[in-house]
Structure 1
Amino acid sequence: MNTQQWLLAVCLAASVPAHAAPALQPIEVKDSELSTLRGRFVMPGRIISFGVVMSTTWQNANGDVLGARADLQVQATTIKPQFYVQTIDTKGTGTANLAQNQGTGIVTGGAGLTTTQGVTQSVRAAGDNNTAYNNVDVNVSQANAAPAVAAPQGQVLAAGSTITGTNGAGSLTVASTGNGVQMSIQANNNQGTTSQSLGQGGLSQLTTLLGGSNQVSNLTQLNVIMRNNMPAAGSIDAGLSQLKGLR
């Protein structure tokens, strides 16, 4: 049944008095009926471009920066959607910050954070002068055509593969599993850990800080471009004519 038929059925149903209840009298909707509703549907063919950008970085007290950025862009002309990963490796000078000591903080609990559903963001700190940033950014725009896509940069993250990196800040792992894509950093000198994962209908951004003077960032951007189509005048008139009976 198409959208116009659904709209017609809803309007007609609303204009007919229910048994033992006056017309237009509010009727309670059962929880069992509400549980089957979803608000995540879009008209077919409306989305013309979809992109995901994930980035995770860790900067220690010496200024060393370790991280990665993963990009996915899907359009009508996309043959095979793939994540492309660029690693971040910057050597610090040590002049702006004190040399990093061994982390001595202790954080307990939190085992359930890895088994949650939906969006999970957590920062647990047991140190001083730290900065931690978790953010999810959703951008929805309209256009008449999909924008030109630049040539992808970085390594292809194939299914089941892993990309790694190390420097003075710690060890980086970017992995593609059956559950999605995960980025994680194990900081050196017991400074802590951070991870970010996307997949199976969920997103998690978790950071644990055990030392001092660290700067950690987890960011996921979802970019959606929808076709800027206006409904035909005939379909609007048909809907309005049915709504007249509700006055």
Structure 2
Amino acid sequence: MKAIPLLAATCLAACLPAQAESLFRPIELKDQELAQLRGKYVMPGRVISFGIVMSSTWKNAVGDNIGARVSMQIQESTLKPQFYVSTIDEKGSGAAPAAGTGSVSGGAGLNQTQGVTQSVRAAGDYNTASNHVSIDVKEADQAPPLAAPQGTPLEAAPVVASNGAGSVSVSPGKGGVQMAINANGQGVAMQQLAAGGLLQAAQMVGGNNAVSNLAQLSVVLKNNMPSTGALDCNLDQLKGLRTMGM
């Protein structure tokens, strides 16, 4: 189905400030493009809850794990959207492995794309990496209870942490949020939600590393089926078209 990419773009737009609205300005589609579209629209005001959870982690060969988790939830009563950050710092066994000797070239244009971009590039051995995006859409009579915020509010200054696996930095930018991991000579990873798109990337030059980028978008729609009066109103509007020869 092609409804999922359209819904994903709508979800990404919901978390961006007014400056980014120009990216979603409507454009005219050709007949050939319209013939391929499938999906539904959502009336304004029907979205009663929108949430984002993102996490990025890097575990090296001796089990050191560094990363971060970012969350945000918006409802009708929300005055100002706010990201909250929790860092992940787990100690493994043994000294940090030596820097990798692999080399990865190219990819300079990956951070200039729009929409959802996922990239995994590896020049070492026995590495695993995953980029995953999930979208959960539900209907309900009312918005779910707001969970208590966990972590540090993300303001102008980045939230940072480090251990034997490397360092992680979570910072605001381009109207969204970016998580970047520098893995002490083993490679780098990044996850960014901003400027109308989602970027997930991992680049490994060492061995025996496990990298994960995860983004979860959750949307709750008001379960408001049209009333009999609303349906009658729509039918009356359609009847009026007949007087114009349509």
Report the TM-score when normalising by structure 2.
0.78
Counterparts of 2:160 and 2:96, CA distance in 1: 25
Say if 1:122 and 1:205, in contact at 8 Å, map to a contact too.
yes
Write the mapping of 1:1-247 to structure 2, written as runs, cut at 5 A.
31=30, 42-94=42-94, 100-158=97-155, 160-188=156-184, 190-237=185-232, 239=234, 242=238
Counterparts of 2:174 and 2:145, CA distance in 1: 30
The letter of the residue matching 1:122 is: S
How large is the Cα RMSD of the aligned pairs?
2.7
- Which residue is 2:6 aligned to? none
Say if 2:63 and 2:93, in contact at 8 Å, map to a contact too.
yes
* Equivalent position SS for 1:204: strand
- Per-residue Cα deviation, 1:31-83 (whole angstroms, up to 9, x for no partner): 29969x9x885212211100011100000001011000001011112222100
Counterparts of 2:41 and 2:199, CA distance in 1: 23
Unaligned runs of 5+ in 2: 1-27
The letter of the residue matching 2:153 is: V
Shift of residue 117, structure 1, vs aligned partner: 1.1
Shift of residue 235, structure 1, vs aligned partner: 3.3
Unaligned runs of 5+ in 1: 1-28
Counterparts of 1:44 and 1:198, CA distance in 2: 23
Report the TM-score when normalising by structure 1.
0.78
- More displaced, 137-146 or 98-107? 98-107
- More displaced, 76-85 or 194-203? 76-85
Distance 1:232 1:109, change over 3 A: same
Say if 1:161 and 1:177, in contact at 8 Å, map to a contact too.
no
| Larger Rg over CA atoms | 1
Counterparts of 2:96 and 2:86, CA distance in 1: 28
The letter of the residue matching 1:185 is: I
- The count of residues paired between Structure 1 and Structure 2 equals 210
Shift of residue 236, structure 1, vs aligned partner: 3.2
Distance 1:131 1:30, change over 3 A: closer
Distance 1:173 1:212, change over 3 A: same
Counterparts of 1:118 and 1:236, CA distance in 2: 36
Counterparts of 2:88 and 2:212, CA distance in 1: 13
The letter of the residue matching 2:218 is: N
Counterparts of 1:77 and 1:91, CA distance in 2: 40
Distance 1:40 1:178, change over 3 A: farther
